[in-house]
Amino acid sequence: MITVLVMMAVLWGTGAAMGTPKRARWIMIAVLLAAVIVLQLALADGHPLREATGGDVRLWGLILGFVGVGYGYRYLLRKVKARADGPVDAPVQTGSFSEAELDRYARHIMLREVGGQGQKALKNAKVLVVGAGGLGAPALQYLAAAGVGTIGVIDDDLVENANLQRQVIHTTDQIGRPKVQSAADAMTALNPHVTVRPYHRRFTADIAHDLIADYDLVLDGTDNFTTRYAVNAACATLGVPLIAGALTQWEGQMSLYDPAKGAPCYACVFPDAPDPSLVPSCAEAGVIGPLPGVVGAMMALEAVKEITGAGDGLRGRLMIYDALYAQTRVINAKRREDCAVCTGLH
């Protein structure tokens, strides 16, 4: 085997000294390897020439396999980079990817429905997440991991020990810190290529318009109807799509509310807040730990689809997930003509 490797090195060095193109040098080495493999197959076991060239054709097959895998990986990486760069006149071209980002997002870029342009759209997107609790925690993690360029998160709560059973973005050493700061640190540690904007304050109607106006998409994972209606009203007025989710015990639901594109707003589907006694909080009724992770991750997925234009989203459809019995239902939701929030808008 050493003899063959020396011959390969001599061929490559001689070709380099003579200015032979790399392609021609690779062809010469390939011819040499082909001859070695023929000898391995043609000569009997123990033949001196066979022993001098490796002794077993399977060894060369293994080496060629590793070389092929390495070459295939390089070729694939070049294709991914080419797709990420895209044509110079493509509509979404602000910003560029570093080698680290290309490697990080390669699985996205390889998807036909996302590609380089979809990943650029994610990088250029600005998403606001209202609430850094049960639903916000997984949504924030996956938005950051997906490469959403700017992520805002607003919440006035502090991390508590009782949160950690389900709000997995926070850790024990963060107890007592503002949730938005804890979440921001976790997101930046996960992906240093994204910008996180933490707002440690309560989301109220008087700041809703100015805050949401700076974002392309809003995710609402709050646990009270006052905030939900305030978020919805501002999104409907500004024409910003809203992905809203809710949880109770073993059940979760979510939809994409977007009256600017003919879909209902949140108030179309839920015109009146229910009596508080009928909708107890998680602290009062309990909630199974992984459920917020499931629904929050699905909210992030719907956000990625909305930004990239991939597949069919939940615009005009309400998805209900029953974790206890492993059932999922999707029902159509229509815009109400007499909606007090979105009638006459857009």
> 92, 117 in Cβ contact below 8 A?
yes
- Long-range CB pairs of 158-167, under 8 A, 24+ apart, other chains included: 162/283, 163/133, 165/289, 166/134, 166/137, 166/287, 166/289, 166/290, 166/291, 166/292, 166/293, 167/132, 167/133, 167/134, 167/137, 167/292
Same-domain check for residues 168 and 286: yes
Residue 109 confidence (pLDDT): 94
> Does residue 95 form part of some domain?
no
Same-domain check for residues 303 and 211: yes
Residue 277 confidence (pLDDT): 67
Residue 61 confidence (pLDDT): 72
Q: Which residues pair with 129 in a beta bridge?
A: 153, 219
- Catalytic (active site) residue 265: no
> Does residue 113 form part of some domain?
no
> Looking at this protein, which amino acid is placed at residue 116?
G
> Does residue 340 form part of some domain?
no
The whole-number mean pLDDT for each consecutive block of 10 residues of the chain, a chain of 346 residues, reads: 70 70 72 72 71 68 70 68 49 66 94 95 97 96 98 97 96 97 97 97 96 97 94 96 96 96 95 77 83 97 97 96 96 93 83
| Structural domain harbouring 248 | 125-332
Q: Which of 268, 282, 339, 342 is catalytic?
A: 282
CA distances from 181 to 21, 128, 185, 203 (A): 56, 15, 6, 16
Same-domain check for residues 177 and 273: yes
Same-domain check for residues 295 and 210: yes
Q: Count structural domains, the chain.
A: 2
Same-domain check for residues 180 and 55: no
Q: Which two tokens stand for residue 142?
A: 């996956």
Residue 92 confidence (pLDDT): 38
- Quote the CA–CA distance of 193 and 224 in Å, as a whole number: 32
- With CA atoms as reference, report the closest residue to 270 among 244, 239, 237, 303: 244
- With CA atoms as reference, report the closest residue to 230 among 199, 259, 254, 206: 206
- Quote the CA–CA distance of 33 and 64 in Å, as a whole number: 9
Neighbours of 137 (CB within 10 A): 28
| Collapsed DSSP state (helix, strand, coil) of residue 217 | strand
Q: Are strands 327-332 and 195-199 parallel, antiparallel or unpaired?
A: unpaired
